[in-house]
């Protein structure tokens, strides 16, 4: 921890203590996860259901019970920062209230939101003292960027070697064929030309997109190659992995831009937004990885292992200063895509996938838990008949077709499958249409398991 971060940590800890004394606590909640795990949908549901709970609705019964029924009001308050876009739950709820309803747009940049929760005091002085106010600070960002954080301690040569080794195996080799052909044709002493650097970057970026969109892979770095954010594809991104034999000007240019890119990510992402949180949620689309096949499933486990070091504070000083989360919840999203009986298996499977990340969190002193949830529930349990036999299934409205369908999602194993499991044919899980909601969100959002997760994560603080 550098001296400036240490000083900031001391000041933040002192401020937190002062706030607690006057009943004005601030709780920083990091909602993290791999790409397409549903962070924006999760935050939309969290905000809408908390506000509804503050109006007396039983949208989050487990959280209300954990707080002793003392939640009195919930409302959005101005965030501490004025330079970062505000997370817009109203726009996301408007999408869900459209006819037909549609899912909120994926996150393309940072956004923040602060929510105040007024709670009746537990003590006999509750009638004299003002109500406690716990302010939740939330952040939303593209999931692709999370995998940039492990790169901060990795040099260009090390990253290049590991990346190229992966690209030459399995489905990645197919997706990266054009890039690998380009790389193989490069002379070791290729000159430092922007046109050449941009060409290599474009081919490598296209390979990453194919890995994500066609093959369901998640360990894809750097993250801004897949989602550059509002600044677009600036020359800072014009680099790509090179073999160790590369020694010319192009190699030096790529190495410099790689280092500059990491410095930029550190100053714009890690230091201001990702260095200090009290609680953390890590979202994973386990079911999507399972249906994408063995390579995608194992790649998801590798991606979780890669981010293990950034899931919680790493050293004693950070823990003493309160910089490390005290609770980390891992959540398998889209649990409504499987019937009730399979949801415990989904959470158990995530626990196996996240073994390394869990160990790192617990080594930092954090309690951990595993959940299966659907931030916005869009199916109901049903029964499918296959070859004359009845199987538990789910039924919902298909997103594109607009008609109802009963889907049997297959069995969900409780631990990483045996090799024979992957011999079965897999299908693309359909996208379901979200339920049409009240645009004001007054009655909350239908969900599965959000209240149990929030009760474990926040109940003690309320």
Residue 430 included in any domain = no
- Looking at 268, 303, 323, which one is the last position of a domain? 268
d(CA 147, CA 152): 10
Instruction: Give the model's pLDDT for residue 124.
Output: 54
Residue 149 included in any domain = no
CATH of the domain at 73: 3.40.50
Task: Specify whether 159 is located in the same domain as 252.
Answer: yes
d(CA 10, CA 320): 10
Q: What percent of the chain has pLDDT over 70?
A: 87
Task: Specify whether 200 is located in the same domain as 63.
Answer: no
- CA torsion sign for 431, 353, 370, 136 is negative
Q: What is the CA radius of gyration of the chain?
A: 23
d(CA 151, CA 146): 10
Phi-psi region of 170 (alpha: psi -120 to 50; beta: other; left: phi over 0): left
Task: Specify whether 26 is located in the same domain as 76.
Answer: yes
CB atoms near residue 192 (< 10 Å): 14
Task: Specify whether 280 is located in the same domain as 248.
Answer: no
| Nearest Cα to Cα of residue 73 among 131, 19, 36, 118 | 118
Residue 147 included in any domain = no
Task: Specify whether 180 is located in the same domain as 67.
Answer: no
Task: Specify whether 226 is located in the same domain as 96.
Answer: no
β-bridge pairing 132-140 and 379-386? unpaired
Range scoring the smallest mean pLDDT among 74-88, 90-104, 310-324: 310-324
- Looking at 215, 239, 268, which one is the last position of a domain? 268
d(CA 151, CA 270): 12
Residue 252 included in any domain = yes
pTM: 0.89
For range 115-136, the mean pLDDT? 79
d(CA 371, CA 357): 15
- Looking at 244, 268, 292, which one is the last position of a domain? 268
Contact 409, 287 (CB under 8 A): yes
Residue 212 included in any domain = yes
Helices (H), 343-394: 343-353, 355-363
Instruction: Give the model's pLDDT for residue 268.
Output: 81
Contact 75, 49 (CB under 8 A): no
Instruction: Give the model's pLDDT for residue 10.
Output: 46
C-alpha distances in Å from residue 128, one per residue of 25, 123, 195, 309 = 19, 10, 70, 45
d(CA 25, CA 134): 5
pLDDT at 138 over 70: yes
Which of the four pLDDT bands, split at 50, 70 and 90, describes residue 125? low
Domain that holds residue 188: 155-268
Task: Specify whether 188 is located in the same domain as 53.
Answer: no
Round the average pLDDT of the chain to a whole number and report it: 87
Instruction: Give the model's pLDDT for residue 8.
Output: 52
d(CA 439, CA 454): 23
The count of structural domains within the chain is 3
Residue 82 class from Cβ within 10 Å (0-12 exposed, 13-18 middle, 19+ buried)? exposed
pLDDT at 203 over 60: yes
Instruction: Give the model's pLDDT for residue 317.
Output: 41
Residue 432 included in any domain = no
Q: Could you tell me the two tokens for 161?
A: 């070697």
Burial 159-176 (b: 16+ CB within 10 A, else e): bbeebbebbeebbbeebb
Instruction: Give the model's pLDDT for residue 105.
Output: 86
Torsion, Cα of 459, 358, 361, 24 (10° steps):
-20
Q: Over the stretch 292-326, which tens digit does the pLDDT of each residue have?
A: 899 999 999 999 988 887 665 544 444 444 556 88
Q: Dihedrals φ, ψ of 205, to 5°?
A: -60, -45
Q: Over the stretch 418-445, which tens digit does the pLDDT of each residue have?
A: 888 888 766 678 899 999 887 666 788 9
Task: Specify whether 7 is located in the same domain as 128.
Answer: yes
Instruction: Give the model's pLDDT for residue 263.
Output: 93
Task: Specify whether 212 is located in the same domain as 72.
Answer: no
Chain mean position to CA 126: 38
Contact 376, 396 (CB under 8 A): no
Which secondary structure element, helix H or strand E, spans residue 360, and what is its range? Answer: helix 355-363
Task: Specify whether 122 is located in the same domain as 9.
Answer: yes
Q: Dihedrals φ, ψ of 55, to 5°?
A: -95, 5
Q: Could you tell me the two tokens for 37?
A: 């795990």
For range 43-72, the mean pLDDT? 93
Instruction: Give the model's pLDDT for residue 316.
Output: 42
Higher pLDDT, 255 or 276: 255
For range 179-201, the mean pLDDT? 96
Contact 274, 149 (CB under 8 A): yes
d(CA 280, CA 244): 38
Task: Specify whether 185 is located in the same domain as 255.
Answer: yes
Instruction: Give the model's pLDDT for residue 108.
Output: 79
For range 190-197, the mean pLDDT? 95
Contact 179, 210 (CB under 8 A): no
Q: What angle do CA 269, 213, 425 make, to 5 degrees?
A: 135
Task: Specify whether 372 is located in the same domain as 393.
Answer: no
For range 180-196, the mean pLDDT? 95
d(CA 24, CA 135): 8
CB atoms near residue 236 (< 10 Å): 15
Q: What angle do CA 101, 106, 107 make, to 5 degrees?
A: 135
Contact 31, 333 (CB under 8 A): no
Residue 205 included in any domain = yes
Q: Which residues make beta-bridge pairs with 33?
A: 283
* Interacting residues of 228 by C-beta distance below 8 A, sequence separation 6+: 234, 237
CB atoms near residue 88 (< 10 Å): 16
């Amino acid at each position: 921890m550098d001296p400036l971060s240490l000083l900031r940590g001391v000041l933040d800890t002192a401020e937190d203590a002062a706030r607690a004394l006057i009943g004005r606590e601030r709780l920083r909640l990091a909602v993290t996860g791999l790409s397409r795990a549903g962070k924006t949908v999760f935050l939309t549901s969290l905000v809408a259901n908390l506000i509804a709970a503050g109006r007396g609705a039983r949208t989050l019964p487990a959280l209300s019970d954990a707080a002793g029924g003392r939640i009195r009001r919930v409302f959005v308050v101005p965030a501490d920062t004025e330079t970062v876009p505000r997370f817009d739950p109203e726009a996301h709820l408007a999408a869900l209230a459209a006819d037909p309803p549609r899912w909120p747009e994926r996150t393309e940049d940072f956004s923040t939101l602060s929510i105040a929760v007024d709670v009746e005091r537990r003590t006999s002085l509750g009638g004299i003292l003002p109500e406690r106010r716990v302010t939740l600070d939330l952040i939303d960002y593209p999931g692709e960027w999370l995998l940039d954080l492990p790169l901060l301690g990795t040099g260009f040569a090390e990253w290049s070697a590991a990346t190229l080794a992966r690209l030459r195996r399995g489905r990645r080799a197919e997706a990266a064929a054009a890039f690998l052909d380009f790389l193989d044709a490069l002379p070791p002493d290729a000159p430092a030309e922007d046109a050449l650097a941009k060409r290599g970057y474009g081919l490598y970026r296209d390979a990453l997109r194919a890995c994500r969109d066609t093959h369901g892979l998640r360990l894809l770095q750097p993250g801004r190659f897949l989602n550059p954010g509002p600044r677009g594809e600036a020359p800072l991104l014009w680099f790509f992995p090179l073999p160790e034999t590369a020694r010319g000007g192009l190699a030096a240019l790529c190495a410099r831009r790689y280092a500059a890119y990491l410095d930029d990510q550190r100053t714009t992402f890690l230091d201001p937004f990702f260095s200090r949180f009290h609680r953390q949620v890590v979202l994973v689309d386990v079911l999507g990885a399972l249906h994408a096949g063995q390579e995608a499933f194992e790649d998801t486990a590798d991606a979780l292992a890669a981010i293990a070091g950034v899931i919680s504070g790493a050293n004693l000083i950070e823990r003493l200063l309160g910089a490390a989360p005290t609770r980390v919840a891992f959540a398998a999203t889209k649990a409504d895509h499987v019937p009730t009986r399979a949801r415990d298996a989904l959470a158990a499977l995530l626990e196996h996938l996240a073994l390394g990340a869990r160990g790192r969190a617990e080594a930092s002193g954090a309690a951990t838990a595993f959940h299966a949830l659907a931030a916005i529930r869009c199916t109901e349990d049903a029964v499918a008949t296959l070859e004359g036999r009845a199987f538990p299934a789910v039924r919902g409205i298909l997103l594109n077709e607009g008609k109802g369908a009963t889907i049997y999602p297959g069995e969900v194993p409780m631990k990483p499958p045996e090799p024979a499991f992957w011999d079965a044919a897999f299908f693309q899980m359909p996208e379901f249409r979200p339920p049409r909601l009240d645009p004001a969100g007054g009655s909350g959002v239908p969900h599965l398991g959000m209240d149990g997760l929030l009760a474990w994560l926040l109940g003690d603080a309320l």
